[in-house]
Amino acid sequence: DVKVTQSSRYLVKRTGEKVFLECVQDMDHENMFWYRQDPGLGLRLIYFSYDVKMKEKGDIPEGYSVSREKKERFSLILESASTNQTSMYLCASSNDLGYGYTFGSGTRLTVV
Amino acid sequence: GQQLNQSPQSMFIQEGEDVSMNCTSSSIFNTWLWYKQDPGEGPVLLIALYKAGELTSNGRLTAQFGITRKDSFLNISASIPSDVGIYFCAGRIQGAQKLVFGQGTRLTINP
């Protein structure tokens, strides 16, 4: 079964900390995505990558950065965590958008 | 960024009832997808649609690709408790590098 694995299900971090969210896929997919999900706001795209070392800003990139050094791994970085970044973070990957994305199980991040 | 208009935002129904939800857009899509998200999990693909007018079923779920290519519908028949969750529509515009998502429909079922 194809898989997208997010390293943590739950994280609690302090304001101002640097936070790394890791995502690994085993499907040799070209495209990887990071979304955040908040009640009533749906899925909002933070960043995506269509190749190693390539990245594109999504709709809400402020306060975030990403890294894709290897094809299978896409990391989301919160440079200085703030309470308004408390959210559910979802990673996804895709080779052919016609077949949609495969999502990870999500990381619920709480910044205190 | 662009989003699809998905309605209703939430539904509260009795077990056994049928459910309908839909998504509309001002843009033409060449692919429509429907996902379900169980509580505490990531979304999982339910149905994919590729042609205008296409009607596809997956068990008790049936989805349609609108004739205008600007809308899609999902129906769930005879709902059961495990249907609880958030349903998302998603669409792909020709040549786009990413999908566009609806805001989701939260389904709650009273036993």
Q: Which of residues 83-112 of A touch B (CB under 8 A)?
A: 90, 92, 97-106, 108
CA atoms within 13 A on the CB side of A23: 33
Are residues A40 and B103, on separate chains, in Cβ contact within 8 Å?
yes
Q: What is the mean pLDDT of residues B40-59?
A: 95
Q: How far is A49 from chain B (nearest CA, A)?
A: 10
Are residues A106 and B50, on separate chains, in Cβ contact within 8 Å?
no
Report the distance separating Cα B46 and Cα A52, nearest Å: 29
The pLDDT of residue A99: 77
Closest in B50, B98, B103 to A98, CB measured:
B50
**3-state SS class at A84:** helix
Whether the per-residue pLDDT at A1 is higher than 70: the answer is no
The pLDDT of residue A100: 86
Whether the per-residue pLDDT at B105 is higher than 80: the answer is yes
Asked whether the beta carbons of B75 and B62 are under 8 A apart, the reply is yes
Whether the per-residue pLDDT at B2 is higher than 70: the answer is no
Tell which phi-psi region holds residue B9, choosing left (phi > 0), alpha (psi between -120 and 50) or beta: alpha
- Cβ count within 10 A of residue B40: 11
- Judge whether B99 is closer than 8 Å to chain A, CB to CB: yes
Whether the per-residue pLDDT at B10 is higher than 90: the answer is yes
- Judge whether B90 is closer than 8 Å to chain A, CB to CB: yes
Whether the per-residue pLDDT at B1 is higher than 70: the answer is no
Confidence bin at A96 (pLDDT 50/70/90) = confident
Q: How far is A95 from chain B (nearest CA, A)?
A: 10
| Secondary structure tally for chain B: helices H, strands E | 0, 11
**3-state SS class at A41:** coil
Report the distance separating Cα B42 and Cα B45, nearest Å: 10
Q: How far is B31 from chain A (nearest CA, A)?
A: 6
Are residues B98 and A33, on separate chains, in Cβ contact within 8 Å?
yes
A101, A105, A108: best to mutate for the B interface, most B CBs within 10 A:
A101
Tell which phi-psi region holds residue A100, choosing left (phi > 0), alpha (psi between -120 and 50) or beta: left
Report the distance separating Cα B2 and Cα A44, nearest Å: 10
**DSSP assignment, residue B4?**
B
Nearest CA in chain A to B87: A42
Phi and psi dihedrals of B83, rounded to 5?
-80, -10
Report the distance separating Cα B84 and Cα B59, nearest Å: 16
